[in-house]
């Protein structure tokens, strides 16, 4: 198999001023893409923005002989999303790759979370991904080619204490990605989602209580471990879509949403009661023989 190359491709990486996004952008640029480095340059909550973070990454790419341009818009507004895609079109004339990576965090026990913190996380992770993806999708659809990577989280899909706001936002990213994937496939737009775990300022913001039970054995946590999967998913080599991948502690693995065979009440049998559910609960809960449906319709079609 030939080496992955992004020669002739244009990529957007949101939140690329630091952490994982910076690693993704450097690698995608190193492999030949022209890259839009979006970052509002703020602190971990997303506040106190500036231009330095994005500018520094652009300078690093240019110093290595690559091509990149900065954008300082927040992903959290429709104007910001459009501005990011326009930066790509103005500078490079197309968009082939979008990595939705920008994120913020405000951890606290569930009952201490402010409504404002919920709004803020939904605005960046979910609405942000929506606002950037929609105009990028239009360009990709017109070109008949695209690769989109969404960044969800194990916290969002499996749960993680003191992160109800973050998990709600990351869970919603999964829902968004599923539909973009279904609508993108006929246009050659392949859409996948990562659940990363890597050393970054966001990871450093977690407290010991949140990691109780975590193995302490040495393991990979470099952002570049995540980038390897992102670059693959962003490449022509990748032919999968609507999939989820966990990259944690050196392990790359597919994650999936399955449905068990369950207990079925035929249409000519009486409507079930709570007592019927109680009587069949072991069968309803039994995962043996589960299926992994590719859409809502495919899930309904499993029931005869
Ligand atoms: P980070 O805090 O280093 O990077 C996030 C970047 O997004 C920052 O550079 C920040 O300035 C930028 N950003 C924040 N709000 C923005 C906005 N409204 N518009 C544009 N840019 C904005 O954190 P890290 O760890 O690199 O996170 C990258 C992504 O990976 C995030 O979506 C995060 O939720 C996700 N993630 C990270 C994990 C980890 O273990 N590091 C675990 C699970 C998910």
Closest CA to 226 of 257, 256, 203, 258: 203
What is the CA(110)–ligand 1 centre distance, in A?
A: 21
- Dihedral angle of Cα 160, 165, 168, 173, to the nearest 10 degrees: -100
Each residue's pLDDT tens digit in the chain (304 positions)?
679 999 999 999 999 999 999 999 999 999 999 999 999 998 888 888 899 999 999 999 999 999 999 999 999 999 999 999 999 999 999 999 999 999 999 999 999 999 999 999 999 999 999 999 999 999 999 999 999 999 999 999 999 999 999 999 999 999 999 999 999 999 999 999 999 999 999 888 999 999 999 999 999 999 999 999 999 999 999 999 999 999 999 999 999 999 999 999 999 999 999 999 999 999 999 999 999 999 999 999 999 8
- Contact at 8 Å (CB) between 24 and 30? no
CATH class of 10-255: alpha beta
Active site residue 72: no
pLDDT of residue 48: 87
Nearest-CA residue for atom 33 of ligand 1: 103
* Nearest ligand 1 atom, CA 198: 40
CA angle at 300 for the pair 298 and 304, rounded to the nearest 5°: 110
- Contact at 8 Å (CB) between 234 and 99? yes
Note the pTM of the prediction, 2 decimals.
Answer: 0.98
132 lines ligand 1 (CB under 6 A): no
16 lines ligand 1 (CB under 6 A): no
The DSSP result for 51-96, as a single string, is SHHHHHHHHHHHHTT-EEEEE---TTSHHHHHHHHHHHHHHHS---
What is the CA(243)–ligand 1 centre distance, in A?
A: 21
Closest CA to 154 of 111, 115, 113, 202: 202
Numbered ranges of CATH 3.40.50.720 in the chain: 10-255
What is the CA(90)–ligand 1 centre distance, in A?
A: 25
66 lines ligand 1 (CB under 6 A): no
Q: How far is CA 168 from CA 100, 119, 154, 269, 296, in A?
A: 17, 11, 12, 38, 21
Give this complex's ipTM. 0.99
162 lines ligand 1 (CB under 6 A): no
Pocket perturbation via mutation, ligand 1, pick of 14, 18, 20 by most ligand atoms within 8 A of CB: 20
pLDDT of residue 1: 66
Q: How far is CA 9 from CA 32, 94, 106, 254, in A?
A: 7, 8, 35, 26
* 304 three-state secondary structure: coil
Neighbours of 94 (CB within 10 A): 15
């Amino acid at each position: 198999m030939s080496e992955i190359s992004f020669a002739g491709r244009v990529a957007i990486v949101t939140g690329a001023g630091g952490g994982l996004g910076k690693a993704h952008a450097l690698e995608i640029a190193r492999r030949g893409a022209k890259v839009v480095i979006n970052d509002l340059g703020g602190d971990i909550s997303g506040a106190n923005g500036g231009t330095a973070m994005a500018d520094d990454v652009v300078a690093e790419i240019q110093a290595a002989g690559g091509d990149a341009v900065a954008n300082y818009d927040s992903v959290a507004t429709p104007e910001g999303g459009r501005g990011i895609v326009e930066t790509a079109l103005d500078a490079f004339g197309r968009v082939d790759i979008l990595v939705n990576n920008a994120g913020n965090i405000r951890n606290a026990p569930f009952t201490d979370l402010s409504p404002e913190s919920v709004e803020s996380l939904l605005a960046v992770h979910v609405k942000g991904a929506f606002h950037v993806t929609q105009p990028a999708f239009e360009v990709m659809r017109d070109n008949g080619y695209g690769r989109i990577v969404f960044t969800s989280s194990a916290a969002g899909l499996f749960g993680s204490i003191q992160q109800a706001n973050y998990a709600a936002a990351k869970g919603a990213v999964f829902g968004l990605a599923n539909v973009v994937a279904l609508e993108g496939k006929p246009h050659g737009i392949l859409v996948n989602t990562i659940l990363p775990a890597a050393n970054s300022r966001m990871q450093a913001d977690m407290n010991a209580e949140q990691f109780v039970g975590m193995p302490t054995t040495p393991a990979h946590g470099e952002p570049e471990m995540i980038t390897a999967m992102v670059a693959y998913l962003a490449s022509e080599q990748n032919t999968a879509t609507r999939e989820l991948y966990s990259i944690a502690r050196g392990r790359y693995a597919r994650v999936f949403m399955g449905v068990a065979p369950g207990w079925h009440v035929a249409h000519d049998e009486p409507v079930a009661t709570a007592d019927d559910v109680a009587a069949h609960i072991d069968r309803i809960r039994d995962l043996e023989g589960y299926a992994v449906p590719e859409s809502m319709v495919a899930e309904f079609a499993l029931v005869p």
